[in-house]
Amino acid sequence: MRKLPRVLVVEDEPAIAELIAVNLRHNGFAPTVVFDGEAAQREVDSVLPDVVLLDWMLPGESGVALAKRWRQQERMKTVPLIMLTARTEESDKVQGLDAGADDYVTKPFSTQELLARIRAVLRRRAPEVVNDAVQLGELSLDAATYRVTLSGQELKVGPTEFKLLHYLMKHPERVHTRGSLLDRIWGDHVFIEERTVDVHVKRLRESLGAASAMIETVRGAGYRITAQPQAIKAKNDPTPA
Ligand code: CA
């Protein structure tokens, strides 16, 4: 029998939680509903969900704080998180993504939109089950151990940036448009703006530190990763006398 994707719903408003759960059940998911962070932690400790819908405003620990904490836990580091938020401010969205959320849905949302987002994060997650290792110049990424190293030194890379880097490293030296990156990494870009890509590229460069120049912006086209960044090549190539 096919295993139904497990969705943990962390939502303190019973009416919304119930509505989400009913719709998930009707659409081939196995939802579990909890009302606060403490219960959510107990739940993920016992059964690992395939995706978490996490309300921003919860009694006690906030959804954002919980997301941040989970991203530090080995077990929860890569489980897709969708934040449910009543807020629409751009800064709040960025804060949610910063906390490690893969996506966010603003309340009130339609069931179809929510289902599309859940399917998208599950699709996006699929490439990760291929636990391979990639090397480009001094940069290595090991999907099995979830590690990125530069000249043997481990770098701290967030979950979305990790997926982005993984994809770029598997397709180096090629220019990827924002749209194609959204397709490949986010899975479904209907609801995500292209500048989301820029936010994550910026963050990825910060994580790469000394190797940040490996990610090049190709004006008017998109991004590419290269083993030999133009900036560094220019600096290292001796000018012929
Ligand atoms: Ca709430």
**pLDDT level of residue 214 (50, 70, 90 thresholds):** very high
Question: Could you give the residue range(s) of every CATH 3.40.50.2300 domain in the chain?
Answer: 6-125
Q: Quick check: 84 and 105 in contact, CB under 8 A?
A: yes
- How far is the centre of ligand 1, averaged over its atoms, from the C-alpha of 127 (Å)? 32
- How far is the centre of ligand 1, averaged over its atoms, from the C-alpha of 175 (Å)? 41
Nearest residue to 137 (alpha-carbon basis) of 67, 236, 26, 36: 236
Mean pLDDT on 62-90: 86
Phi/psi region, residue 132 (left: phi>0; alpha: psi -120 to 50; beta: rest), is beta
Alpha-carbon gap, residue 64 to 140, rounded angstroms: 30
**pLDDT level of residue 213 (50, 70, 90 thresholds):** very high
- How far is the centre of ligand 1, averaged over its atoms, from the C-alpha of 16 (Å)? 9
**pLDDT level of residue 75 (50, 70, 90 thresholds):** confident
Read off the pTM. Answer: 0.55
**pLDDT level of residue 2 (50, 70, 90 thresholds):** low
**Can you give the pLDDT at residue 129?**
46
**pLDDT level of residue 6 (50, 70, 90 thresholds):** very high
> 86 phi and psi, to 5 degrees?
-90, -5
- How far is the centre of ligand 1, averaged over its atoms, from the C-alpha of 10 (Å)? 9
- How far is the centre of ligand 1, averaged over its atoms, from the C-alpha of 59 (Å)? 7
Torsion of CA 33, 35, 40, 46, to 10 degrees: -50
- How far is the centre of ligand 1, averaged over its atoms, from the C-alpha of 183 (Å)? 30
Nearest residue to 133 (alpha-carbon basis) of 143, 146, 148: 143
Strands 133-136 and 103-106: unpaired
**pLDDT level of residue 150 (50, 70, 90 thresholds):** very high
CATH code for the domain defined by 6-125: 3.40.50.2300
- How far is the centre of ligand 1, averaged over its atoms, from the C-alpha of 84 (Å)? 9
Architecture in CATH of 133-235: Orthogonal Bundle (1.10)
